[in-house]
Amino acid sequence: MSIPVIAIDGPSASGKGTIAAIVAQRLGFHYLDSGAIYRVTAYAALQKQIDLTDEPALVELAGWLDLRFDGAEVYLDGRPVGDAIRTEEAGRAASTIAVLPRLREALLARQRAFRQVPGLAADGRDMGTVVFPDARVKVFLTASAEERANRRYKQLIEKGLSANLSQILQDLQERDARDAARTAAPMQHAPDAVLIDTTGMTIAAVVQQVLDLYSQASGNQAPKAQGR
């Protein structure tokens, strides 16, 4: 049997990263934060003053990026850049380059390489439609734009970063439109994905729902979610 994948897609701040990371931990799976790959690429491009619309230069950059994940931390050229790539500027830049077809193709192999024994929980916007179309479980998380903006606002404030709620809401709505309209791997709900609206749900409740889906697909008893 192929190595199992749980693909969790959804718009920005829908909770997909948090849920995927916890699910991976509960099952002993590897974890892929595909958005971090695009954020690191965009961050590196900004550092090197590469135009974010210069697709050939970005493809070349992606080819030699020294990128490494260690748990929740991300390293670029041996340096931790987790906080730097989580800024709103990095998020906007990542969304800008994510529409480029050749760059997406260049980063595809990097993402698929995370599929290792005993399994993988991956979050993104095209995990179930493009990167892992044969995923054992496909989930599409969503939430109202207002709730997602509030989540992102609280995350930034907790990290000691400045944030403007109305600007975050506007950025999220613009990013949603950009991600859904791009010609290369647009963000969409796969026909065989389970839609979960996380508005008003606790993290533990969403995690348990995903674990139950995996249990049903695999014929194994799901572990119980813990925490909030």
pLDDT digits (tens, 9 = 90+) for 42-58: 999 999 999 999 999 99
Reported for 63-66, long-range contacts at CB under 8 A and 24+ positions apart, including other chains, are 63/106, 65/40, 65/41
The tokens for 76 are 């670029």
Q: How confident is the model at residue 226 (pLDDT cuts 50, 70, 90)?
A: low
How far is Cα 201 from Cα 13, in angstroms, rounded to an integer? 14
Q: Across residues 71-90, what is the average pLDDT?
A: 87
Q: How confident is the model at residue 87 (pLDDT cuts 50, 70, 90)?
A: confident
pLDDT digits (tens, 9 = 90+) for 126-135: 999 999 999 9
The pLDDT > 70 percentage for the chain reads 95
Q: How confident is the model at residue 222 (pLDDT cuts 50, 70, 90)?
A: low
Rounded to the nearest integer, the mean pLDDT of the chain is 89
- Whether 228 has a pLDDT exceeding 60, the answer reads no
pLDDT of the residue at 181: 78
pTM of the full structure:
0.84
Q: Across residues 12-29, what is the average pLDDT?
A: 92
- Whether 214 has a pLDDT exceeding 70, the answer reads yes
For residue 224, what are the contacts with CB-CB under 8 A and spacing of at least 6?
208, 211
Per the CB < 8 A criterion, the answer to whether 124 and 10 are in contact is no
Q: Which of 61-65, 100-104, 197-201, 223-227 has the lowest mean pLDDT?
A: 223-227
Domain ranges, ordered by start, for the chain:
5-215
- Whether 224 has a pLDDT exceeding 80, the answer reads no
pLDDT of the residue at 155: 84
CATH code: domain 5-215 is 3.40.50.300
pLDDT of the residue at 225: 58
